[in-house]
Amino acid sequence: MPPEPNFQTIKREQIECTAPFLPSLADGPVGVVLLERIRQFGQTTPLLVREEQPQRYQLLADYPTYRALAALGSDQVLCRVLPRTVSSLSRFSLQIHYEQAASPPASPIVQAHLLRQACQQLSHDELLSLLPLMGYKPQRYLLDELLALLDLSPAAVRALHQGILAPKTGKLLRLLAPEDQIALVDLIEAYRPGGSKQFKLVEMVTELCLRHERSVHELLGGWEQTEPRQDNAPQRLQGLLQHLAASVSPQRTDMETRFQRFVDAMQLPEGVTLAPSPSFEDESVELRLRFDNSDVLRQKWEKIRKLLQS
């Protein structure tokens, strides 16, 4: 059972963040949204701290709020104080709860950092019991995947923490050398592809680097030299994705190009499209007709039916 809540107002100077890892992730300015929220409403949630010795406390969660309070010059902060005797399982469970409830919620890097600390103090079963608190199934491979994120290059770790790099994409970066990870993070920061585009970009670059045993700089150098300079970042990103797709699957790209020429030559009217067979597995094509509503289809169906039967 967690200890009974003990809320105190503590001098900020008495609170320490003893682990250097979290401050290393927050070397930029304090978030404007968080600062404005605290200016307007004050400190709405207590910081979680543990009493290390009389009048000295260790910060356990929500480092961004601690930084914001320091930036605003708050001398007194509201805290929930855990005693030195609190069990390790209760302590880590509360830390996770506070990080998940923070705004913004905990990044996968903060989660991995907490789990790495917990590995030194908890049993295997206790460790897995923390995963559901983070929204994961209690499975060992998920724990290992989270911990492995901490072994990425510092640039990749920071990008994951800041939300620039998606966790799914971060897993792919583990296959690349640190300098290649840095190059890809720079690329993602420059173009900011989101969701599936980000994953596809890293997936294709990773595959080509491993297939041809080349670095990211070597792989993209040729494209940068031949690609016409464009100020429009989305267009340039789309050009890069097309270049990579052609390099990964030249045969499929060639079939797509030839099929598009065929479609263009057909001069299809509005509302009519052609689609190839899935993955071009055969030479069949599918003609699709689009109607604004079912009434329009009924009106034209007799003519269409006669054409199909002729």
Q: What is the pLDDT of residues 53-108, one digit of tens each?
A: 888 999 998 888 998 999 999 999 999 999 989 999 999 999 999 988 876 778 89
pLDDT tens for residues 198-222? 999 999 999 999 998 999 999 888 7
Strands 47-53 and 76-82: parallel
159 neighbors 165 (Cβ within 8 angstroms): yes
DSSP 8-state secondary structure symbol assigned to residue 283? S
* Omega cis (within 30) before 193: no
Q: Is 16 contained in some domain?
A: no
State the pLDDT at residue 36.
92
For residue 109, pLDDT beyond 70: yes
What one-character-per-residue DSSP string does 28-83 give?
SPPPHHHHHHHHHH---SPEEEEEEETTEEEE-S-HHHHHHHHHTT-SEEEEEEEP
Q: Is 280 contained in some domain?
A: yes
Q: Is 264 contained in some domain?
A: yes
State the pLDDT at residue 227.
61
State the pLDDT at residue 178.
95
For residue 224, pLDDT beyond 70: no
For residue 41, pLDDT beyond 80: yes
Which structural domain, as residue segments, surrounds residue 284?
252-309
Q: Tokens 């005797």 identify what position? A: 85
pLDDT tens for residues 127-179? 999 999 999 999 999 999 999 999 999 999 999 998 899 999 999 999 999 99
Q: Is 96 contained in some domain?
A: no
Q: Is 296 contained in some domain?
A: yes
Cα dihedral 143, 145, 146, 147, rounded to 10, equals: 80
State the pLDDT at residue 170.
92
DSSP 8-state secondary structure symbol assigned to residue 85? T
For residue 2, pLDDT beyond 70: no
* Residue 282 C-alpha from the chain's centroid: 37
Task: Work out how many domains the chain is built from and give that number.
Answer: 1
State the pLDDT at residue 225.
60
Q: Is 142 contained in some domain?
A: no
State the pLDDT at residue 1.
63
Q: Mean pLDDT across the chain, nearest whole number?
A: 88
Q: Is 97 contained in some domain?
A: no
Q: Is 32 contained in some domain?
A: no
For residue 35, pLDDT beyond 70: yes
Provide the greatest CA pair distance for the chain. 94
